[in-house]
Amino acid sequence: MFDSLKSKLKGVRSRFSREIEESFIEEVSLDEEISSPTPLTASKEVSAETESSDIPEASETPEPKVPSEIKKDKVAFSAKVRTLLKDREVHISEKKIEGPLQELEIILLENDVALQTVDAISTQMRSELTGSTKKIGSSIDNMVMDALRDALLDVLGEGFSLTSYISTHDHPVKVLFTGVNGAGKTTTIAKVAAYLKAEGYSVVIGSGDTFRAGANEQMKTHADRVGVKVIRHQEGADPSAVLYDAVEYAKAHDIDVVLADTAGRFHNRANLMNQLAKIKRVFKPDIVAYVDEAVAGNDAVIRAEEFNNAVGTDVVVLTKADMDTKGGAAISIAHTIGRPIMFLGTGQEYTNIIPFEPETLVSDLLGDE
């Protein structure tokens, strides 16, 4: 999942660290250290905090150095500056991180992160890394990592736990699934049903896709496999009536959750969008879940926004995350439409669904152990 983005983020993180470190190495007047017999004249922020024990002794009669010795000196010197920087207060100017920031922006754009989300991540990184004096903790790498983690968490928002919602609201909780054709709504409903059953909740499915030939049978097959009752009418029936019946069944049988399927549709099909508005009026969902493919990248973000504007959306489910190497939709969608992600679909098995937790995604993206 999101492998291309992961490896690129790793690269740009090292570049941030390198550039920040190198700029301090320059400040500590490298030439002077290598060629002159005088002690290291550490300058600016670092020198102010360097203790006398950190400063190498000057030899009285220095021998001229051969190139290999100079190289070794440089390496040793960089290591020394790195040590000096740890637990020090330093000032990082915007200039020092401009190059890597631009690289980060390009990487995010190339991986389908929406422009406004890229801007937000970049602004947050800039403000967290620069400006006032910073205390570098264990290392510059960690400081960069923390800034990137905070920026990503900021755009990902809080996530949405369906089980927490169910445990704190009246039953039956009604979830309406909307989205474009073939995004994976029907499969997702079966996966969510299996997930909720495993969490100890009873579920009924309303087969509200009465439009596509074979959709009823497909839903029934999935429901049978995960052991959940499905309410169906004949093909072409009014989906609002099917879903109304599903709610009545849930009330009569003390069922915790109703999961309602709908036919796939595009936001620009006015009659189908009006039908969805009617379904909402009759079914009165507690949660409207917009389903789209993570692999669709920017298109998924644009469609989610259009659905949200047309019929409203409370949460998003991104399917086929297992096939998505970029992660752009997962990173941008909550920030762009202002609605949290509820689940990620990660394969074709019924167990291939994970509740979306921003911290887990960010740890995965940044390669935490």
Ligand X SMILES: Nc1nc2c(ncn2[C@@H]2O[C@H](COP(=O)(O)OP(=O)(O)OP(=O)(O)O)[C@@H](O)[C@H]2O)c(=O)[nH]1
State yes or no: residue 187 binds ligand X (CB under 6 A): yes
Out of 240, 319, 332, 336, the only residue in the binding site for ligand X (CB under 6 A) is 319
State yes or no: residue 184 binds ligand X (CB under 6 A): yes
Structure tokens belonging to residue 9: 């983020």
Structure tokens belonging to residue 64: 């001229």
Distance CA 151, CA 234 (A): 49
State yes or no: residue 220 binds ligand X (CB under 6 A): no
DSSP state of 188: H
Determine if residue 73 is labeled as part of a ligand binding site. no
Structure tokens belonging to residue 313: 């959306």
Out of 264, 297, 327, 328, the only residue in the binding site for ligand X (CB under 6 A) is 264
C-beta atoms surrounding 107 within 10 Å: 18
Determine if residue 150 is labeled as part of a ligand binding site. no
Q: Are 99 and 15 in contact (CB under 8 A)?
A: yes
Determine if residue 321 is labeled as part of a ligand binding site. yes
Least Cβ distance, residue 330 to ligand X (angstroms): 12
Least Cβ distance, residue 241 to ligand X (angstroms): 19
Q: Are 233 and 147 in contact (CB under 8 A)?
A: no
Out of 48, 76, 115, 323, the only residue in the binding site for ligand X (CB under 6 A) is 323
Nearer to ligand X by Cβ, of 264 and 358: the residue is: 264
Out of 348, 363, 367, 368, the only residue in the binding site for ligand X (CB under 6 A) is 348
State yes or no: residue 206 binds ligand X (CB under 6 A): no
Out of 157, 312, 347, 355, the only residue in the binding site for ligand X (CB under 6 A) is 347
- Residue type present at position 198: A
Distance CA 240, CA 9 (A): 46
Out of 81, 192, 215, 258, the only residue in the binding site for ligand X (CB under 6 A) is 215
The distance from CA 101 to its chain's CA centroid, rounded to whole angstroms, is: 19
* Antiparallel, parallel or unpaired: β 353-355 and 287-293: unpaired
Going through 207-308 in order, the beta strands assigned E by DSSP cover 229-231, 257-260, 287-293
Least Cβ distance, residue 333 to ligand X (angstroms): 15
Whole-Å CA distances, 59 to 31, 168, 322: 17, 74, 61
Determine if residue 360 is labeled as part of a ligand binding site. no
Distance CA 22, CA 234 (A): 70
State yes or no: residue 327 binds ligand X (CB under 6 A): no
Least Cβ distance, residue 197 to ligand X (angstroms): 18
Using DSSP's 3-state secondary structure scheme, residue 361 falls into helix
Nearer to ligand X by Cβ, of 166 and 189: the residue is: 189
State yes or no: residue 186 binds ligand X (CB under 6 A): yes
* Antiparallel, parallel or unpaired: β 341-345 and 353-355: antiparallel
Residues in binding contact with ligand X, number by CB under 6 A: 20
Q: Which residues of 34-67 are buried (b: 16+ CB within 10 A; e: fewer)?
A: eeeeeebebeebbeeebeeeeeeeeeeeeeeeee
State yes or no: residue 332 binds ligand X (CB under 6 A): no
Least Cβ distance, residue 329 to ligand X (angstroms): 13
State yes or no: residue 345 binds ligand X (CB under 6 A): yes
Determine if residue 186 is labeled as part of a ligand binding site. yes
Nearer to ligand X by Cβ, of 14 and 181: the residue is: 181
- The site for ligand X (CB under 6 A) is made up of 181-187, 209, 212, 215, 264, 319-320, 322-323, 345-348, 352
